Chains A and B, each alone.
Chain A
């Protein structure tokens, strides 16, 4: 790839499959903490009804990128554009380590956030959707870590925002709960939401429509999981990840070049 990668080859998840305009467009985004550049020159777009996974090693800048996209951090350069939407809430957000006031029940917690919106929200339906209907009256302090994350996802989709940003939604979860969370994510995308998530779970990322691989503050690869496998001549997404981050295929100098590949052919797991 390298120099052969053209602008036209840049993937816009969903846009290439559904021909829909992106709901989130990030251009030349950069952020630094003082003298330390966290990331720079980040470009990508996200279309409705797709899942975009941001992957990378610890410290690669995933969370900072998400927080900058959200507007919680002011970028040093670049722009983040959100499409105009009828939804009252433009972006839903699940932080990396979600926590809520332990004195309240699951239903009370979600009802509080629902009260921050003008329109009526069926809290019970949201709880059922994320699988917390049975524990609606349990206090947050008595929830497992996985349930707190599901509550966080329920909060993130309140008001039907067109873009949902999830920061490591499966962190520290057991395999069964991880699988469940990714099922919920797929369900959100199927309903037309654009899901942007950061994750260390490569099996989940392999199922995304688009993967953005951050490596030391730069976009090392952007494309569908299948394209990344093809580009690195590997059989699994895990091998592709390792190759692109200097792992198994580190001997090949070309693996550190940004890889921008074209078609979005859906995911794999």
Chain B
């Protein structure tokens, strides 16, 4: 990528980040997410990092994709509807630069909104008087901030994947209504539908135990959950059906696939 292309990329990143920061609805959503995280951590009793991860895992798995789609589903679509996408095409900007800039800007905003509260509630554990004696007894290990850092890292990756999907929906949709419908359907499918389908397949005999591992890696939610259970909660979690490598590959495939889809669909005709 040439120097001017990098400058253009960062100009787009800055524009997206500023848009999120200056939009009241996004601030309210981010504040809502922070309030939920704080409330959960507070109600959990701050007994340690592992209990904190246990308290937060399922809500984060549900709320991060929701927040990502809220932040990202109109990112490209809004430009298209305002006609700004046509304007941008009249400049020497490639599709990859535009999509990359939009993605990075929105993802940066999402990471701040997600990781900020998660980092803040870690202070509950640090500052809690009972923390020093709080150890979850397990043959696999003991409570540690490292486990929480792993959870934070995996959550950041999960947020990046979710934002990639949101930008892909935004680029592929041709109207706000279509984009919203696809985003909602997509979110419900990831959060509920995929796992329910696997359970139904297993109980109905359509799926065997051997097929679970790759199947779970196909869903970013399942892959994220598997990775957290395997790396941050291994001391308390039971056997994890999918290997970390397969789950990680699943997340990478989702991210790259989403960005490729967004790049290919954002505009098709070539400038004269």
Residues of A within 8 A of B (CB): 67, 69-74, 80, 82, 88-93, 95-101, 103-104, 112-113, 115-118, 155-156, 159, 161
* Most A-side CB within 10 Å, residue of B82, B90, B270: B90
A71 touches B272 (CB 8 A): yes
**Binary CB contact string for chain B from 16 to 33 against chain A (1 if under 8 A, 0 otherwise):** 001100110000000000
Which residues from chain B contact A90 at a C-beta distance below 8 Å? 271-272
Q: List 11 A-B contacts (CB under 8 A).
A: A70-B90, A72-B269, A73-B269, A89-B91, A90-B272, A93-B87, A99-B82, A101-B15, A104-B19, A112-B15, A118-B92
B178 CB–A CB distance under 8 Å: no
B18 touches A103 (CB 8 A): yes
A224 to chain B, nearest CB (A): 26
Query: Which single residue of chain A is at the shortest CB-CB distance from B91?
Result: A116
Which residues from chain A contact B93 at a C-beta distance below 8 Å? 116
Interchain CA distance A97-B23 in the complex, whole Å: 23
Chain B residues 61 to 103 lying within 8 A of chain A, measured CB to CB, are 78, 82-84, 86-93
B82 touches A72 (CB 8 A): no
A104 touches B90 (CB 8 A): no
If A95-B83, A112-B11 touch, whether A71 touches B271 (CB-CB below 8 Å) is: yes
A71 touches B15 (CB 8 A): no
Chain B residues 158 to 203 lying within 8 A of chain A, measured CB to CB, are none
B270 touches A89 (CB 8 A): no
Which residues from chain A contact B15 at a C-beta distance below 8 Å? 101, 104, 112
B4 CB–A CB distance under 8 Å: yes
If A80-B272, A95-B86 touch, whether A103 touches B8 (CB-CB below 8 Å) is: no
Please name 9 further chain A to chain B contacts, defined as beta carbons within 8 Å, in addition to the given A70-B90, A74-B269, A118-B4, sorted by A numbering.
Answer: A72-B269, A93-B90, A95-B86, A99-B82, A103-B18, A104-B15, A104-B19, A113-B91, A116-B88
Interchain CA distance A62-B18 in the complex, whole Å: 36
**What's the count of A-B pairs with C-beta under 8 Å?**
75
B58 to chain A, nearest CB (A): 34
B270 to chain A, nearest CB (A): 6
B86 to chain A, nearest CB (A): 6
Which residues from chain B contact A103 at a C-beta distance below 8 Å? 18-19, 22-23
Interchain CA distance A159-B93 in the complex, whole Å: 14
B89 touches A72 (CB 8 A): yes
Which residues from chain A contact B83 at a C-beta distance below 8 Å? 95-99
B62 to chain A, nearest CB (A): 29
Interchain CA distance A156-B84 in the complex, whole Å: 11
Chain B residues 127 to 174 lying within 8 A of chain A, measured CB to CB, are none
Which residues from chain A contact B8 at a C-beta distance below 8 Å? 115-116
Which residues from chain B contact A101 at a C-beta distance below 8 Å? 15, 19, 78, 82, 84
B84 touches A89 (CB 8 A): no
Q: Interface majority SS on B: helix, strand, loop or mixed?
A: helix
B19 to chain A, nearest CB (A): 6
If A69-B272, A112-B11 touch, whether A99 touches B84 (CB-CB below 8 Å) is: yes
Which residues from chain A contact B18 at a C-beta distance below 8 Å? 103-104
Of B19, B82, B90, B270, the contact of A92 (CB 8 Å cutoff): B90
Which residues from chain B contact A118 at a C-beta distance below 8 Å? 4, 92
B92 touches A116 (CB 8 A): yes
Of A69, A88, A113, A115, the contact of B7 (CB 8 Å cutoff): A115
Interchain CA distance A172-B23 in the complex, whole Å: 28
Chain B residues 1 to 60 lying within 8 A of chain A, measured CB to CB, are 4, 7-8, 11, 15, 18-19, 22-23
Query: Which single residue of chain B is at the shortest CB-CB distance from A95?
Result: B83
Which residues from chain B contact A71 at a C-beta distance below 8 Å? 269-272
Interchain CA distance A30-B92 in the complex, whole Å: 26
Interchain CA distance A112-B10 in the complex, whole Å: 10
B183 to chain A, nearest CB (A): 20
Query: Which single residue of chain A is at the shortest CB-CB distance from B16?
Result: A101
Which residues from chain B contact A99 at a C-beta distance below 8 Å? 82-84
Minimum-distance CB pairs A-B, first 6? A115-B11, A71-B272, A116-B91, A103-B22, A99-B82, A95-B83
Which residues from chain B contact A104 at a C-beta distance below 8 Å? 15, 18-19, 22
Interchain CA distance A97-B269 in the complex, whole Å: 21
Of B11, B22, B86, the contact of A116 (CB 8 Å cutoff): B11
Of A74, A97, A117, A155, the contact of B87 (CB 8 Å cutoff): A155
Which residues from chain A contact B91 at a C-beta distance below 8 Å? 89, 113, 116-117, 159
Which residues from chain A contact B78 at a C-beta distance below 8 Å? 101
Query: Which single residue of chain B is at the shortest CB-CB distance from A155?
Result: B87
A117 to chain B, nearest CB (A): 6
A158 to chain B, nearest CB (A): 8
B90 touches A100 (CB 8 A): no
Which residues from chain B contact A100 at a C-beta distance below 8 Å? 82, 84
A81 to chain B, nearest CB (A): 8
Interchain CA distance A67-B269 in the complex, whole Å: 11
Query: Which single residue of chain B is at the shortest CB-CB distance from A116?
Result: B91
A91 touches B84 (CB 8 A): no
Interchain CA distance A159-B18 in the complex, whole Å: 24
